[in-house]
């Protein structure tokens, strides 16, 4: 597939640069030389977080500084998520709460973007019921933020744009990263899988991959800037450049990154079991620079349910990938996503999910009760099991996983791990970091260790956090 058809033209980017300059002048005039503050909050997955960093980059170029205090903001931007109903309800609540701030600061611009806003029914509801929202835009046009801000400031009118496209790739946008030593690098956008429960393909558009050399350049730049952990992102990283020759696909990209000079580790998410190959696992095993952590969502352990979910793999294929992965990487840490109570799932079928947990022994799980998303196939499926019943199954699942996680961390006792020290722990006096396998580890140490790799020996493992001592 030729991905250049997804690229935004140089002319369009130039136009947005001009809008940036115009918006900056309006911002300066409105705030009379004082630097206005933006409060940007991102919900949802790391892909969305990464988009949020680019939105911040654009705002910075327009003359905005940032605040963590919504009360002090002159612009509030919520970058939203639509994955479950609960996520959407929360956002409606938080948007409603912004109304009061507009009273005390009439200059305040309230802006909404991201996956939830890409849906027609949501944009309509905001238009009708939330008249204090000034700007709303979808995922396909977010690179036009300078134009939108300019229009808001110059006309004082509401701006709404949820135009769809085949999906696009925008290189060269400014970026203001949240972290100093951990960085997100998207390698592909969108999704073509249409799992029957999932809204992502509808709000993110078709699958498209970034150019191999562009990704390499970004990663090289990050390593040169001292970043210690690079996470490659995509809804389905295994289908990166899948129509191109092997030397451009995901295993080749991961290998090339792992061969770069420098003291860093690389992670990636999410892998889809359908496209996850032994070759990818071989690449993982080949380099110490690649974290020994595989996030491989299985969703259900039952073949009938997997088929209804449109996942395109069965339990046997999933387990055979896992057994190969453990064979070549005995220390591998595997995490996953699970949905409980997919429409029509019986308790017997759910028990196959439990038995899969016992077989794989995941380090940790992201567990969800099925949430019907309007517009998806599963939304219209018969769903006879009551929510209370699903909640009981959910509890069963999480307590089994808790037991397994505890057994896994108990085995870490006495062993020494290389840990990226991420910051201070909530517990006074301790630092917090993560092992390559993505287990949180806390220990006593000097704050100067933050942002470096440290050797830590595990002394007291608990289920979700292990405690240790600094070795060097």
**Least distance CB 199 / ligand F3S (angstroms):** 6
- 48: number of Cβ within 10 Å: 21
Choosing from 140, 151, 182, 204, the residue that interacts with ligand F3S (CB under 6 A) is 204
**Least distance CB 145 / ligand SAH (angstroms):** 25
Residue 83 or 405: the one with the smaller Cβ distance to ligand SAH is 83
109 binds, among ligand SAH, ligand F3S, ligand SF4, none (CB under 5 to 8 A by kind): none
Residue 43 or 150: the one with the smaller Cβ distance to ligand F3S is 43
**Least distance CB 415 / ligand SF4 (angstroms):** 34
Residue 189 or 467: the one with the smaller Cβ distance to ligand SF4 is 189
Distance CA 334, CA 152 (A): 47
* Biggest alpha carbon–alpha carbon distance for the chain: 67
**Least distance CB 25 / ligand F3S (angstroms):** 33
Q: Is 198 in the site for ligand SAH (CB under 6 A)?
A: yes
Distance CA 285, CA 398 (A): 30
Residue 45 or 449: the one with the smaller Cβ distance to ligand SAH is 45
| DSSP for 375-427, written as a single string | TSGGGGS---S-HHHHHHHHHHHHHHHHHHHHHHHHTTTT-EEEEEEEEE-SS
Whose tokens are 């033209």? That residue is 9
Residue 45 or 465: the one with the smaller Cβ distance to ligand F3S is 45
82 binds, among ligand F3S, ligand SAH, ligand SF4, none (CB under 5 to 8 A by kind): ligand F3S
* Structure tokens that stand for 249 in this block: 């696909």
Residue 113 in contact with residue 136, Cβ under 8 Å? yes
**Least distance CB 334 / ligand SAH (angstroms):** 13
| DSSP for 303-372, written as a single string | HHHHHHTT-S--HHHHHHHHHHHHHH-TT-EEEEEEEE--TT--HHHHHHHHHHHHHH--SEEEEEE---
Q: Is 272 in the site for ligand SAH (CB under 6 A)?
A: yes
Q: Is 44 in the site for ligand F3S (CB under 6 A)?
A: yes
End-to-end CA distance of the chain: 48
Question: Within 13 Å and on the Cβ side, how many CA atoms surround 290?
Answer: 25
Q: Is 75 in the site for ligand F3S (CB under 6 A)?
A: no
**Least distance CB 184 / ligand SAH (angstroms):** 15
* Structure tokens that stand for 417 in this block: 């791990």
Binding site for ligand SF4 (CB under 6 A): 191, 193-195, 198, 200-201, 235-236, 272
**Least distance CB 43 / ligand SF4 (angstroms):** 16
| Binding interface with ligand SAH (CB under 6 A) | 83-84, 197-198, 235-236, 270, 272, 297, 299, 337, 339, 368, 370-371, 373
């Amino acid at each position: 597939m030729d991905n250049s058809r997804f690229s935004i033209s140089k002319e369009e980017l130039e136009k947005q640069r001009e809008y940036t300059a115009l918006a900056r002048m309006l911002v300066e005039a409105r705030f009379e030389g004082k630097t206005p503050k933006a409060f940007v909050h991102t919900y949802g997955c790391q892909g969305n977080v990464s988009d949020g960093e680019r939105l911040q980059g654009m705002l910075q170029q327009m003359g905005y500084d940032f605040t963590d205090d919504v009360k002090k903001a002159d612009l509030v931007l919520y970058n939203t998520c639509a994955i479950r109903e609960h996520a959407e309800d929360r956002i409606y609540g938080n948007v409603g709460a912004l109304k009061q701030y507009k009273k005390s600061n009439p200059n305040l611009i309230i802006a909404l973007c991201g996956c939830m806003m890409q849906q027609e029914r949501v944009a309509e509801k905001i238009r009708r019921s939330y008249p204090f929202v000034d700007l709303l835009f979808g995922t396909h046009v977010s690179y036009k933020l300078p134009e939108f801000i300019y229009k808001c400031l110059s006309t004082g009118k509401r701006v709404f744009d949820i135009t769809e496209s085949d999906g696009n790739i925008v290189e060269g946008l400014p970026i203001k990263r949240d972290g100093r030593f951990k960085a997100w690098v998207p390698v592909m956008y969108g999704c073509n899988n249409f799992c029957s429960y999932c809204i992502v393909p509808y709000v993110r558009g078709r699958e498209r991959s970034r150019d191999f050399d562009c990704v390499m350049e970004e990663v090289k730049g990050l390593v040169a800037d001292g970043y210690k952990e690079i996470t490659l992102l995509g809804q389905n990283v295994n289908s990166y450049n899948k129509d191109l020759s092997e030397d451009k696909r995901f295993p080749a990209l991961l290998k090339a990154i792992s061969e770069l000079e420098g003291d860093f580790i690389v992670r990636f998410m999410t892998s889809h079991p359908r496209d996850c190959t032994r070759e990818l696992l071989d690449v993982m095993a080949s380099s110490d620079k690649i974290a020994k952590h595989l996030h491989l969502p299985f969703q259900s352990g039952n073949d009938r349910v997997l088929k209804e979910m449109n996942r395109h793999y069965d339990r046997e294929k999933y387990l055979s990938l896992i057994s190969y992965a453990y064979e070549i990487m005995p220390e591998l840490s595997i995490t996953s996503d699970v949905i409980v109570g997919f429409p029509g799932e019986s308790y017997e079928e759910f028990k196959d999910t439990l038995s899969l947990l016992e077989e794989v022994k995941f380090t940790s799980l992201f567990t969800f009760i099925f949430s019907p998303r309007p517009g998806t196939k599963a939304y219209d499926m018969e769903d006879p099991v009551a929510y209370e019943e699903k909640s009981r199954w959910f509890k069963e699942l999480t307590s089994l996983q808790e037991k397994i996680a505890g057994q896994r961390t108990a085995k870490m006792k006495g062993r020494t791990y290389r840990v990226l020290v991420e910051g201070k722990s909530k517990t006074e006096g301790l630092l917090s970091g993560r092992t390559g396998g993505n287990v949180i580890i806390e220990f006593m140490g000097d704050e100067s260790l933050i942002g470096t790799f440290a050797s830590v020996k595990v002394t007291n493992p608990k289920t979700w956090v292990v405690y240790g001592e600094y070795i060097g």
